[in-house]
Amino acid sequence: MTQAKTDSASVSGKRAGRRHRKVKILATLGPASNSRDMIEALFRAGADAFRINMSHGEHEGHAAAIAHIRKLEQKLRRPITILCDLQGPKLRVGKFAGGEAIIRHGSHFTLDRDETPGDENRVCLPHPELFGILEKGDRLLLDDGKLRLRVIRADKDAILTSAEVGGKISDRKGLNIPDAVIPLAALTEKDRKDMAFALDQGADWIALSFVQRPEDVAEARRLIDGRAALIAKIEKPSAVNRLDEILELSDAVMVARGDLGVEMAPEEVPPLQKNIVAAARRSGKPVVVATQMLESMITAPTPTRAEVSDVATAVYDGADAVMLSAETAAGEWPVESVSIMDRIAAHVEGDPGYHERVHLTETLPDATTADALAASCAQIAETVSTSAIVCFTGSGSTARRVTRERPLAPVLVLTPTRATARRLGLLWGAHAVVTKDIGSFEEMIGKGKRMALRHGFGQAGDRCIALAGVPFGTPGSTNVLHIVTLTGDELKGYER
């Protein structure tokens, strides 16, 4: 390798992936976007992380997409985040004679254990565990809430309902039961196989669907055994009711507004979204806002004004990441969807009122040295002109503490652990770089200054904050904060 002969600007220009916004973009891959060229186009347009939806496709196709991402990672010399989203237990009705039926408004309709094809009066419910747990007055929502039934009577063989909202229904449509905790494990046999595949493929995050209780998260953590980070999807009222416990056991949460909006009244979802984002921020856990953010861009080259406002609201609230689903997985404008989301986020963060609004959520530090120093970083960045906060971390905990405070300065995270760098792709404001570990205070200062220059986080005369733990390499030992001034000479004599 040759010695660095260029200034910081030209060096940073040769390194891909530096974002000038802090919220992250999670893009779902699918038939419209899982090719090598499209994945690179999405990344260059602004995607920081990629979601593999295990509900669709086969392992062979998912493995190919993951391989494309890892090759792109090598090409661009940037850690790229992969999230594998498990399907979870899907409740569905059985089949109908002729493939469909019309349930009349106000009529009685029965779900039973008879496997005979259904009609306008009844259909099989192939989930024996549901019989006997439902009570009079419970709601049953069919086909993403398009049809609504109310339980009149339920016993061990049949559930008699009244159709409050009828309509056409066809084979194997989905069923949501918002008023009861369903006696189903969050992990089906398919999920267990998909999780094993995802872990073998080196996925950075596993998303757990239809979480109802903390025990669901605990079971998934046991099976993951530290090989990936775990994100709990909040999409059921029962999960909302136990949010604090679920947050404690998770590495992150996702506001999965699709099913949450089916199981709850539409007007309940916006305040819930704000409350979940705020709770996650207070706990120092990343939070992703997902589903229907730019839904019209599945078929249109531009979003509606309401969708733009929706994305902006999540950014103003301080969400760590915003997600695109069908927009990039199956839509006609995947790259444009990422590009527009990138522009919305950057424009919001450039609003003079953004910093004040993002701090409407108070994040009080715990009574620890590490939290006190992280909070100090944010305060110093506001008081003193600072080009970057440079964190040295092995596990990522230092970076999570710092970014919880939503500081003005960008956060450059230096870690010797590639898995840590990849997982930080969902963390607000974090730009992770894999580098050799440090062994002394002097080495920390020297490397921090060099990396800030090399990756475009400052130039000669700028001040940076360096944060680390001594002794180095000891998890959770953050106890050193140092303010340094870049001279511009730090790169001389060092390899790129």
Residue closest to 323 by CA, chosen among 280, 277, 290: 290
- Any idea what DSSP says for residue 3? B
Peptide bond connecting 270 to the previous residue in cis, omega within 30 degrees of 0: no
DSSP string for residues in 362-426: --PPPSSHHHHHHHHHHHHHHHS--SEEEEE-SSSHHHHHHHHT--SS-EEEEES-HHHHHHGGG
The residue among 400, 325, 308 whose CA lies nearest residue 363 is 400
Phi and psi, residue 392, nearest 5°: -105, 125
- Residues forming the active site: 51, 92, 233, 291
Q: How far apart are CA 388 and CA 398, in angstroms?
A: 15
CB of 319 closer than 8 Å to CB of 288? yes
- Please spell the DSSP secondary structure of 59-117, one letter per residue: HHHHHHHHHHHHHHHHHHT---EEEEE------B---BGGGEEEEPTT-EEEEES--S-
- Six token digits for residue 289: 């806002």
Helix axes of 305-316 and 334-349: crossing angle, nearest 10 degrees = 50
The enclosing H or E element of 233 equals strand 229-234
225: left (phi over 0), alpha (psi -120 to 50) or beta: left
> Is 204 in contact with 224 (CB distance < 8 Å)?
no
Q: Please state, in angstroms and rounded to a whole number, the distance separating the CA atoms of residues 29 and 329.
A: 5
